[in-house]
Amino acid sequence: MQKPINGEIKVDFNQRESGRGAYICYNEDCFDKVSKKNKLKMALKTNIQNDKYEEIRGVIFGRQ
C-alpha cells in the first residue's frame, strides 16, 4: 500500500512509489483483520473508508 504525496491511496506491488507505505500480507484472513481494525488508517496516517478497503481487496485478490 502506498499513500503518495498527492494523498491517493493505492496498491504498489513493485514498492517503487514514494510516500508513506504499509505492507499487507497476501492472505484474505489477514486482510480482513487489517480492514476490521482499520490498521491502514494508523499506518498511512489518513482516514480510510470501508469502500476503499473493498477497492483495495479487489486489486490485491483480483475481484474488481
The alpha carbon of residue 20 and the mean position of all alpha carbons in its chain are separated, in whole angstroms, by 11
Distance of alpha carbon 45 from alpha carbon 64, whole angstroms: 25
Question: 63 pLDDT band (50/70/90 cuts)?
Answer: low
Domains in the chain, CATH or no CATH each = 2-61 (3.30.1230.10)
Question: 17 pLDDT band (50/70/90 cuts)?
Answer: confident
Q: Is the pLDDT of residue 52 over 80?
A: yes
pLDDT tens, position by position, 20-48: 888 888 899 999 999 999 998 888 888 88
> Which three cell numbers, joined as nine digits, stand for 17?
512509489
pLDDT tens, position by position, 3-13: 766 778 888 88
